[in-house]
Amino acid sequence: MKINCNYENVKKSYLFIEIAHRLREYASAHPEADIIKMGIGDVTLPLAPAVVEAMEKAAAEMGRKETFRGYVDDNGYDFLINAIKGYYAARGVDLDYWEIFVSDGAKSDLGNILDLFDADNTVLVTDPVYPVYVDTNVMAGRRIIYADATEENGFLPMPDRSVKADIIYLCTPNNPTGAAYTRAQLKEWIDYARENGAVILLDSAYEAFVTDSDVPRTAYEVEGARECVIEFCSLSKTAGFTGTRCGYTIVPKTLKAEGDLNAMWLRRQTTKFNGVAYVIQRAAEAVFTPEGQRQVKENIAYYQENARILMNGLDRCGIKYYGGKNSPYIWLKCPNGAGSWEFFDRLLTEANVVGTPGEGFGKNGAGYFRLTSFSTRERTTEAMVRLYKMLNG
């Protein structure tokens, strides 16, 4: 038996494990410390009432002989697929029923989609990057090249025609930087992908946070996207489903490739995945009802207000930052030229606030730091008061 040696090349310490380790050490030495956690991007608000009601109703159906359900349909239940189809139609995007695949979240599909591609492909990711894109490709032994996301390009790298990439990951609005491509910028990537016969794996996990009118909520608003973009969506941040687990992936039938990627993905999913639970798909369906939309938008507005509190707090401290506007993430430049981990330790020990060192997302994250707006209002406000005190004595 031979193991997959590529696993030896995966970075040993996953970012959040290192954060948890430092946090644990500090907390055990200072049990009295009241620590505010703004590191991991997990939500704090509970599920919307419409979602809970749908879950309860569906759970009761599962307990009755007449309404019990067993194995799930191929790409998801029709009630949810049609709800997603309607969500796209409201933006002028007409998807075919069989282009929509219900998933147990964006992360699984972002990793699993790689089953469709040969190991001999060059993968392009931005730096800094959501680590999953890198780790999943390292595990499969693929070549990875990086496009620098820096202050100079507003953390939105554009395609370089002298570079040949086959699989391109774009995350917009971006985790960790909060930067979001405009329609015109995304069009440039789509043009590049079409010229190169490449595929764009577009992570749209934060689309619900978009506020700027020139930032697309889906890539399919942009001409040419149906030829080269697979879009990964999640209800985790949109509707607080981080622990409930549901998302959807759009694999157009019109993708240009040597094979039919849509048919391959259906084949892959029906072979290796047995679908998302009925109760959860009913819960997801409720997100797309008018009442569900009103309720989840209220929760998003709550986080957006937290982002404004963070931005105001950073302004008051004279700290430069990016993101926050179309995103729950704020990407700040560590004050006084501090390194990311240095700032992490100082913020933890002096202000008892935990964030995420930018360096953990790639070399261009050095000297930057990520805060999330997913905390409660009180804790978000308190974190900014503590930061001000820490910097101003």
Contact 107, 281 (CB under 8 A): no
C-beta closer to ligand PLP: residue 99 or 203: 203
Contact region with ligand PLP (CB under 6 A), list: 102-110, 217-225, 314-322, 370-378: 102-110
If one asks whether residue 242 binds ligand PLP (CB under 6 A), the answer comes out as yes
Report the distance separating Cα 331 and Cα 345, nearest Å.
17
Lookup: tokens for 205? 């996990």
Please, what is the minimum distance in Å from the beta carbon of residue 130 to ligand PLP?
4
Among 77, 130, 369, 374, the residue binding ligand PLP under the rule CB under 6 A is 130
Instruction: Give ∠ CA 128-129-134 in degrees, rounded to 5.
Output: 130
Per CB under 6 A, the list member of 247, 292, 357, 360 interacting with ligand PLP is 247
Apex 325 CA angle, 16 and 387, nearest 5: 55
CA neighbor of 204 nearest in space, from 49, 52, 93: 93
Look up residue 225 and give its two tokens.
Answer: 């996207």
Interacting stretch for ligand PLP, rule CB under 6 A, among 67-75, 99-107, 313-321, 346-354? 99-107
Is 122 one of the binding residues for ligand PLP (CB under 6 A)? no
- Least Å from the CB of residue 247 to ligand PLP: 4
Give me the least distance between CB of 113 and ligand PLP, in Å please.
Answer: 12
Between 103 and 293, name the residue whose CB sits nearer to ligand PLP: 103
Amino acid at 220: Y
User: Is residue 236 at the binding interface for ligand PLP, with CB under 6 A as the rule?
Assistant: yes
CB 127 within 8 A of CB 146: yes
**CB under 6 A: which stretch of 82-90, 105-113, 279-287, 376-384 binds ligand PLP?**
105-113
CA distance 217 to 181: 10
Q: Any contact of residue 106 with ligand PLP (CB under 6 A)?
A: yes
Q: Which is nearer to ligand PLP, 133 or 352 (CB)?
A: 133
For position 172 contacting ligand PLP by CB under 6 A, the verdict is no
For ligand PLP, the closer CB: 234 or 356: 234
Q: Which of 171, 179, 190, 181 is nearest to 129 (CA)?
A: 171
Rg (CA), the chain: 21
Distance, CA of 269 to CA of 180 (rounded, Å):
30
Q: How far is the CB of 41 from ligand PLP (least distance, A)?
A: 5
Assess contact for 50 and 289: CB atoms under 8 A.
yes
DSSP notation for 324-346: SSSSSEEEEEPGGG--HHHHHHH
Among residues 242 and 349, whose Cβ is nearest to ligand PLP? 242
Taking CB under 6 A as the rule, does residue 234 contact ligand PLP? yes
Interface residues toward ligand PLP, by CB under 6 A: 41, 105-107, 130, 171, 175, 203, 205, 234, 236, 242, 247
